[in-house]
Homo-oligomer: A and B are copies of this chain.
Amino acid sequence: MSNPVRIALDAMGGDHGPSVVIPGAAEALERRANIEFLLFGDEAVLGPLVALHPALKAQSRIIHTDVAVGMDEKPSQALRRTRRASSMWMAIDAVKTGAADVIISAGNTGALMAMSTICLRTMAGIDRPAIAAMWPTLRGRSIVLDVGATIGADAQHLVDLAIMGSAMARIVLDIERPTVGLLNVGVEEIKGIEEVKAAGRILREGNIPSLDYQGFVEGTDLGKGTVDVVVTEGFTGNIALKAAEGTARQLAEVLRTAMGATWLTKLGYLLARQAFRTLKDKMDPRNVNGGVFLGLDGVVIKSHGSADATGYANAIGVGFDMVRHELLDKIRESLAVSDERRLALTADMDARA
């Protein structure tokens, strides 16, 4: 049996804190036995919760701190106030020191990104981190990045996003050579900003072996699942993700109200409830919980702040898989090959000039 995956949890993070994190960890352990947990947080709170789950108790260690990052605290303030002391920082630092293989937090996204970047630093060759989200589609799931780590992107950053997203897709979607599209607008003549066009040229001509570049995709392609990996800069990615989430909630709300309107619709709802269950399962945000921070020298997973135990267990599962399938090595390899190609490409262009 292989070594256990050592997972550091920011046990105080999230809208519900330890009351979700601990049962979530227990649920994750039921699914994948080979985990050791480091639980960072208030021992007086965590101890009794962990005691309810004997299997988890046997596989975990609590590291006490009574400092926690507030969900609405500004990242800069959280850093000043809680650096080195908070459950979030200490959990990240466990990855830095090698005590853990991956850190998972449902806490304040901005603070988690700021602390992760400062503590773990970016990978060699990567300037800025990104957040990759899983997106439910008609074909299954796609990976969309960046959904909000960094505002704006030059062509090289977009290419890096394509490479990192593909490495993640190889693990999550189990596809050897994921298809990649650059998110762009549809109107032919004004097709997109210069950076997106330039990134398209590099991806097409670079012919990177770890990914299959398909060209531009539009907003409507996100739900269709036209490609495995959709690349865009963080401002647009964040707004697209939230526009889609909002639309899904809006439709659910309209449908719920309409279904409750008369006794006939209520009866219809009862008879067809299997169909609504299917819809709910397919669109269940818990199934796509676990945003992956990419471009850092360590694996950091962000669970949705409002996730329940099952959702949190899914985020732990994503972290487990990223470690087991060596996300960081896969990214480093792809970056190295891409660099070679880029150098060859440049040399070739120079030779022709």
Contacts and interface: CB of A to CB of B under 8 A. Distances in A.
A109 interface: yes
A279 B250 contact: no
Of the four ranges (under 10, 10 to 19, 20 to 34, 35 or more), the interface on chain A belongs to: 35 or more
Nearest to A267: B271
Given A219-B244, A235-B236, A236-B239, 4 more contacts: A185-B235, A192-B235, A193-B235, A265-B272
A32 interface: no
A270 B264 CA distance: 10
A193 to B, nearest CB: 6
A178 interface: no
Interface string A233-251: 0111011111111111111
A262 B242 CA distance: 33
Nearest to A271: B268
A74 interface: yes
This protein's copies in its complex: 2
Contact of A271 (B224, B244, B265): B265
Nearest to A276: B258
Contact of A222 (B220, B246, B279, B283): B246
A148 interface: yes
A250 B232 contact: no
Given A247-B247, A269-B272, A272-B268, A239 B219 contact: yes
A267 B274 CA distance: 12
A222 B244 CA distance: 9
A273 to B, nearest CB: 7
A265 to B, nearest CB: 4
A25 interface: no
Main secondary structure of the interface of A (DSSP, over half): helix
The 5 closest A-B pairs by CB, nearest first: A219-B242, A268-B272, A268-B271, A223-B246, A223-B250
A265 B258 contact: no
A189 B150 CA distance: 11
Given A239-B185, A278-B261, A248 B251 contact: yes
Interface string A97-136: 0000000000001100110000000000000000000000
A187 B271 contact: no
A189 B75 contact: yes
19 contacts: A110-B188, A110-B189, A138-B253, A138-B254, A148-B185, A148-B190, A151-B193, A183-B239, A185-B238, A186-B242, A222-B246, A243-B244, A244-B244, A251-B251, A255-B275, A262-B274, A265-B275, A268-B271, A271-B271
